[in-house]
Amino acid sequence: MAHSLRSVTEAPDAPVVAPGHTFASITDKIASVVLTRRTPLGWYATFMLTLGVSGMLAAALTYLVVKGIGIWGNNQPVGWAFDITNFVWWIGIGHAGTLISAILLLFKQAWRTSINRFAEAMTLSAVICAGIFPLMHTGRPWLAYWLVPYPNTMSMWPNFKSPLVWDVFAVTTYLSVSALFWFVGLIPDLATFRDRAQSRVGRVIYGALAMGWRGSAHHWQQYEIAYLLLAGLATPLVVSVHTVVSFDFAVGIIPGWHTTLFPPYFVAGAIYSGFAMVLSLLIPIRAAYGMQDFITMRHLQNMAKVMLATGLIVGYGYTVEAFMAWYSGNKYETFMMWNRMTGPYWWSYAALITCNVVTPQLLWFKKVRTNVPVLFVISIVVNIGMWLERFVIVVTSLHRDFLPSSWGRFSPTVWDFATYFGTIGLFLMLLMLFLRFLPMISIFEMRTLLPAARIDEEALEH
Amino acid sequence: MATVHHPHIHGLMAEFVDANALVAATYRAHAEGYRKMDAYSPFPIEDLHDALGMHHSKLPLIVLIGGALGCLGGYLLQFGTNAVLYPINVAGKPFNAWPMFIPVTFECTILGASLAAVLGMLALNGLPMPYHPVFNVPRFALASRNRFFLCIEARDPKFDLSKTRGFLETLGPREVTTVGD
């Protein structure tokens, strides 16, 4: 650890923390956003806007429960449409949070420190939004507890040979473990807030959440082991979650779904879209809160590089998918791919390739990676591209499968759009609450990055 | 007993301005024979484990047990429901189709181990703890910001209010405070 931190903090052109900071200044700067500084007007404006959009979501879902999922455009043969597209999109976005906080921790990437807290909060909001879609798609969401194995008067149990039940376990485990990981990371910072809160209410609430954390060496010993083990557990978990999500498709026999390529291709796509979303959110937030000292150009550049790398993997996935459709010699697979490229939804495939494969090639250039507005635009384009990817997989595979007599078309209704944009509102609203009430950057981990945190072992007298 | 002599005192607390001073002071106190003490810092410092003569944590074992229970529980849940209580024939697969049970078993393993890690960490640290005497020191609020504290507790057999204070003063602290109980 000492070695990697040193090499990072001493790199002349790319520090992870701007020089001149002390333990106190880091603490005060991050804590002041919540505890002392006046809440910016922009926060209120964004919060009210996203609250309104969440209200639209609530209205759309209420109408859905009253009328049934017939209000969506889903119908035979496209029984999965916007809902599953959105579900996979949101889950994928969540994956970057876990990647940043767990996998980069295990790889000792010190630069993750200033973005992991925010990315984990993003994971939680994204998984909450994701969960709404399959829940509503069941058609009778008030009976969703039937998915849970519990002894009941019908003497029936879930079918554990179905990937959809695996998905229930994967997503609920993912939500639980992400919440645990996030909360454990917060404990020392909640203690800081408890000790620095101005109001009595703040002291009581942060104090209760900090649970009496004292920062003693005994605390830290158990804490560090727990944190590291959680990172080690979250790493295979995050890979398994999107693998299981891909099983929802790959275990089915629909042409375009039934392929062994899906698990790795889905996981890479998830990380790709997640990093794009982290960039889309952090670029405006670091400017709004003046956090350029902590979320430096180095962070933005590194995230751009991860996007480029995962984007290339995803591009490779598209290539292999098309190649295998031809090479298999299976006429249904071949037709599916041809139909995907030239059929009625050709525009979605063309847009997908433009957004996900062509646009990120710009990130090869350092000029692009260091240009914040351009980076922001690219991240938005990739977000759109990754949504299109799931749309292409779901809709173009389903709408023309084996029998031409069962072919059909899908077109979304206004309720499809209201639900989708509604979840974006909910997602942003939850993040606004997070920014207002919790430390957006892990304070205690930032302290460890300072040169003053280094213990000079040779100077100690034993 | 020391506690009899100091019924209202938790211990003596020395405040340090930097991390190196705290680690050095803790080594000195340990060498001096003090054992019932704790060091407080705003971020984890591994050298303190050594300085305080701390033992290995039991947490990894707890996590292993949690993971094993999750794994076993996850598999038995599927075996019990799908092979014994409510056998369903899906595409002619065996009722106990173990390859189909791997994903849920895996997720339950991770869930069990993660819960064990968090609850085990809290339990070993004695959290939640609504009251602790060290919070009686007003400046201790800085332990979560930028200051470092060493507290020698009154229950240490070597503890003596004036001698221990004298010893702590030699370690170059910013100040030494008596911690009320």
Residues A288-326 pLDDT 10s: 888 888 888 888 999 999 999 999 999 999 999 999 999
pLDDT of residue B5: 59
What is the pTM for the complete model shown? 0.91
Nearest CB to B114; choose among A27, A177, A192: A177
Joined together, the tokens standing for residue B163 give 């001698």
Distance from the first to the final alpha carbon of chain B? 16
Nearest CB to B43; choose among A158, A214, A448: A448
Q: Which residues contact B38 (CB under 8 A, 6 or more apart)?
A: A216, A217, A218, B52, B150, B151, B153
Largest CA distance in chain A: 85
Banded pLDDT at A250 (limits 50, 70, 90): very high
A77-87 average pLDDT score: 91
Domains of chain A with CATH codes: 2-456 (1.20.1630.10)
- Give the count of Cβ contacts less than 8 A between chain A and B: 214
Closest-approach residue (CA) in chain B for A183: B118
Indicate the burial class of A339 (C-beta count within 10 angstroms; 0-12, 13-18, 19 or more): buried
Banded pLDDT at A461 (limits 50, 70, 90): low
Region label for A454, one of left (φ > 0), alpha (ψ between -120 and 50) or beta (otherwise): beta
pLDDT of residue B166 exceeding 90: no
Residues of A in contact with B19 (CB under 8 A): 452-453, 455
B38 and A202 Cβ atoms separated by less than 8 Å: no
Region label for B97, one of left (φ > 0), alpha (ψ between -120 and 50) or beta (otherwise): beta
Q: Which residues contact B88 (CB under 8 A, 6 or more apart)?
A: A159, A161, B82, B95
Residue type, B127: L
pLDDT of residue B155 exceeding 90: no
Of B147, B142, B180, B136, which Cα lies nearest the Cα of B161?
A: B180
Nearest CB to B117; choose among A218, A230, A456: A230
For residue A129, give Cα distances in angstroms to A91, A133, A424: 8, 7, 8
Nearest CB to B103; choose among A177, A216, A244: A244
- Rounded Cα distance, B22 and B147, in Å: 9
Secondary structure element (H or E) that encloses residue B98, with its range? helix B98-124
Residues of B in contact with A28 (CB under 8 A): 145
Residue A235, chain B, CB below 8 Å: the answer is no
Q: Parallel, antiparallel, or unpaired: how do β-strands B175-180 and B37-40 relate?
A: unpaired
For B2-56+133-180, CATH gives 3.30.70
Q: Which residues contact A407 (CB under 8 A, 6 or more apart)?
A: A77, A399, A400, A401
Q: Domain coordinates of chain B in residue numbers?
A: 2-56+133-180, 59-124
Phi, psi of B17 (to 5 degrees): -90, -25
Mutate to test the interface with B, among A174, A206, A448, A455 (most CBs of B within 10 A): A455
Which residues numbered 121-140 in B keep a CB inside 8 Å of some CB on A?
121-122, 124-132, 134-135
pLDDT of residue B64: 96
- Rounded Cα distance, A199 and A206, in Å: 11
Residue B85, chain A, CB below 8 Å: the answer is yes
pLDDT of residue A15: 66
Residues B26-64 pLDDT 10s: 988 888 888 888 999 999 988 888 888 888 889 999 999
Enter the DSSP assignment of B40: E
Of A386, A397, A351, A340, which Cα lies nearest the Cα of A79?
A: A397
pLDDT of residue A8 exceeding 70: no
Cβ-defined contact of A184 to B121 (cutoff 8 Å): yes
B146 and A31 Cβ atoms separated by less than 8 Å: no
A86-99 average pLDDT score: 90
B29 and B169 Cβ atoms separated by less than 8 Å: no
Largest CA distance in chain B: 81
Residue A206, chain B, CB below 8 Å: the answer is no
- Rounded Cα distance, B48 and B153, in Å: 17
B169-173 average pLDDT score: 85
Query: Minimum mean pLDDT among A6-20, A42-56, A155-169, A413-427: which range?
Result: A6-20
CB atoms within 10 A of CB A102: 27
Which three-class secondary structure state does DSSP give residue B153? Answer: strand
Residue A150, chain B, CB below 8 Å: the answer is no
Closest-approach residue (CA) in chain B for A239: B107
Mutate to test the interface with A, among B43, B63, B101, B109 (most CBs of A within 10 A): B43
Residues A338-351 pLDDT 10s: 999 999 999 999 99
Cβ-defined contact of B54 to A224 (cutoff 8 Å): no
State the complex-level ipTM: 0.91
Banded pLDDT at B18 (limits 50, 70, 90): confident
pLDDT of residue A11: 45
- Rounded Cα distance, A383 and B95, in Å: 42
Residues A105-140 pLDDT 10s: 888 888 888 888 999 999 999 999 999 999 999 989
pLDDT of residue A459 exceeding 70: no
- Helical residues (DSSP H) of B11-58, grouped into ranges: 19-31, 47-51
- Rounded Cα distance, A16 and A399, in Å: 49
Closest-approach residue (CA) in chain A for B114: A230
Closest-approach residue (CA) in chain A for B44: A220
- Rounded Cα distance, A233 and B113, in Å: 8
